[in-house]
Chain A
């Protein structure tokens, strides 16, 4: 096993594999920076090139190297411009963008990049270590438990609604309902399409995320009439502080990385979900959450990168891709003549370990590159808003269009842009809506499978009851905490 581990390392560093890795990193770097154009779409565009690459390790250096870095560079766009560079980087807007506005872009970027590398390491090591023990991990939960976990995820993020828990839960509910739009997977009947052909294929996440998150931020920039950064231009400082933050909150970064790995392993869930759960976990109990708390950058930064390692576990070991990008990588495995499953863990163990090394080396290279050009990247936040806005809107519309190459996506972006504006104006949190939309499809599938297989008996499964109790505790905890706080606030004498 050690031989295969070392062999995998040297195979990645050998020529031309390392050259392919550098090309993959370069493509992934820019794809991650551009809003809307995601790793999945680019992987689909680049997959045909793997036909021309004969060696499996070389193919994975190119494809996995590209995919591995999109999360890190996507975080940069979210932090600097408030526009998600990747769907899996949206959670970083909540605290990363406020940090940029108050002139702490360097610290936010330092924290995001370091936690990303850290997350990628944890993901890669999890892949390496979990190979012998992954089967029971994947099979631990059935559809009833996975349905409750989906609801628990929305509830968890809904509790961050601040003054009104109900607003958070309702926003999550809106997302869950929006996920029901389109052709019903069970009966094939049309639901909530209102005569629109576009809605047959469900609402795509990219136009919704771009509209909901980017447009209110652009409107705010126009209203302020300043640059993104509200403080005068100075030399980029705080990068080292951001790096230190990762180590200051070491266990938080570890926990969020593990959240990412676990959500990567679970089928269909992935970085899009893991980032929000990690965010909610990261800012729990943090006073300035949503206003520029570094914990809100570290959590999703670590989770959206560690997911890649977790994602690869079921793909390599069982040939069960946990996400769209892994489904494409599975295709690449077959193209280069490898069969996922026991073969990958016996005859081609060196290739499996080479994947681990690709994740690690690609993230180290991109982190080094990012640190080299951080000053130039952060300087963008000092450019006058009046110069930036037309370019930001250009990327918003192009980013939405690239989701399905359809103008209808632009209409969806506009609708959700207006909705996002009013949600921010009236204090409705947007993250639960997005998580509801992402998890809705999965939740419905698991709900139906559970009901078809067990009737209503699944509601009495001990594991389900435990998960429901945990969900109730999650909902009730902020209220109990608030009542205690209010009692103390109203009776200051007692508190003394």
Chain B
């Protein structure tokens, strides 16, 4: 038996189908028909897949069709460095969401662009300010002024009653 990190992901898939099938138990037939028609066979397949993975069944790497027809992460970067950089960019992504939630789009978008360019990318002041201005103009001109998208105020302002 070979324990690999992706087994956790496989386990999550089983739990996903299990929860979706279990939730439907008390529903009327009309509501339950589709989730069970799809979910039960998929639950069985996910268990079969997990067993295969546990047994370590893998295709010979010489076969060209081994990778899925989908985007593949670039190889060649040191795995530890790649992991650190991935965590770093995810922190920025989650930070952007937190900023939008707390301060709203209008403040967060230019602030984020400037901070990313200056702090993360280490760009010069002039370029950082120029691109921040461009981002703000694009945001305000297209999405606010022209399309009138209803951007919500930041939660922080709601809490502070501003």
A460 within 8 A of B: no
Q: A287-327 vs B: 1/0 string, CB under 8 Å?
A: 11111000010000000000000000000000000000000
Interface of B is mostly: helix
A123 within 8 A of B: no
- Distance in Å: Cβ of B91 to nearest Cβ of chain A: 11
B107 within 8 A of A: no
Q: Which of A217, A230, A391, A411 contacts B113 (CB 8 A)?
A: A391
Interface of A is mostly: helix
- Distance in Å: Cβ of B96 to nearest Cβ of chain A: 6
In Å, the complex CA distance between A424 and B17 comes to 20
B2 within 8 A of A: no
Can you spell out 10 A-B residue pairs with CB atoms less than 8 angstroms apart?
Answer: A37-B147, A94-B69, A189-B27, A189-B31, A220-B73, A393-B96, A407-B152, A447-B33, A447-B34, A482-B63
Q: Which residues of B contact A345 (CB under 8 A)?
A: none
In Å, the complex CA distance between A284 and B81 comes to 36
In Å, the complex CA distance between A421 and B160 comes to 36
- Distance in Å: Cβ of A386 to nearest Cβ of chain B: 4
Q: Which of A45, A169, A222, A444 contacts B34 (CB 8 A)?
A: A444
B117 within 8 A of A: yes
Q: A387-B123, A414-B94 are in contact. Are A394 and B64 (CB under 8 A)?
A: no
Interface members, chain B 14-51 (any A CB < 8 Å): 16-17, 20, 23-24, 27-28, 30-31, 33-35, 37-39, 41-42, 45-46, 48-49
Beyond the given A174-B17, A296-B69, A429-B70, could you list 5 further A-B residue pairs with CB under 8 A, ordered by the A residue number?
Answer: A173-B42, A174-B42, A189-B28, A225-B85, A391-B131
**Nearest B residue to A183 by beta-carbon distance?**
B31
Q: B60-72 vs A: 1/0 string, CB under 8 Å?
A: 1011111111111
B33, A177: Cβ atoms closer than 8 Å? no
Q: Which residues of B contact A167 (CB under 8 A)?
A: 49, 68
B101, A407: Cβ atoms closer than 8 Å? yes
Q: Which residues of A contact B42 (CB under 8 A)?
A: 169-170, 173-174, 176-177
- Distance in Å: Cβ of B134 to nearest Cβ of chain A: 9
- Distance in Å: Cβ of B101 to nearest Cβ of chain A: 6
Q: A166-B52, A448-B33 are in contact. Are A230 and B74 (CB under 8 A)?
A: yes
Q: A256-290 vs B: 1/0 string, CB under 8 Å?
A: 00000000000000000000000000010001111
Chain A interface extent, by class: 35 or more
A170, B45: Cβ atoms closer than 8 Å? yes
Q: Which residues of B contact A291 (CB under 8 A)?
A: 67, 72
- Distance in Å: Cβ of B115 to nearest Cβ of chain A: 9
- Distance in Å: Cβ of B140 to nearest Cβ of chain A: 12
B82 within 8 A of A: yes
**Nearest A residue to B90 by beta-carbon distance?**
A219
B93, A94: Cβ atoms closer than 8 Å? no
A489, B121: Cβ atoms closer than 8 Å? no
A486, B60: Cβ atoms closer than 8 Å? yes
Q: Which residues of B contact A164 (CB under 8 A)?
A: 49, 59, 68
B135, A394: Cβ atoms closer than 8 Å? yes
Q: Which of B45, B66, B85, B120 contacts A163 (CB 8 A)?
A: B66
**Nearest B residue to A164 by beta-carbon distance?**
B49
In Å, the complex CA distance between A436 and B53 comes to 24
In Å, the complex CA distance between A232 and B17 comes to 46
- Distance in Å: Cβ of A222 to nearest Cβ of chain B: 4
Q: B86-128 vs A: 1/0 string, CB under 8 Å?
A: 1011101110110011000100010011001100110100000
Q: Which residues of B contact A414 (CB under 8 A)?
A: 93-94, 97
Q: Which residues of A contact B137 (CB under 8 A)?
A: none
A143 within 8 A of B: no
In Å, the complex CA distance between A225 and B45 comes to 39
In Å, the complex CA distance between A482 and B117 comes to 48
In Å, the complex CA distance between A218 and B71 comes to 12
Q: Which residues of B contact A166 (CB under 8 A)?
A: 45, 48-49, 52
A163, B23: Cβ atoms closer than 8 Å? no
- Distance in Å: Cβ of B49 to nearest Cβ of chain A: 4
Q: Which residues of A contact B101 (CB under 8 A)?
A: 407, 410
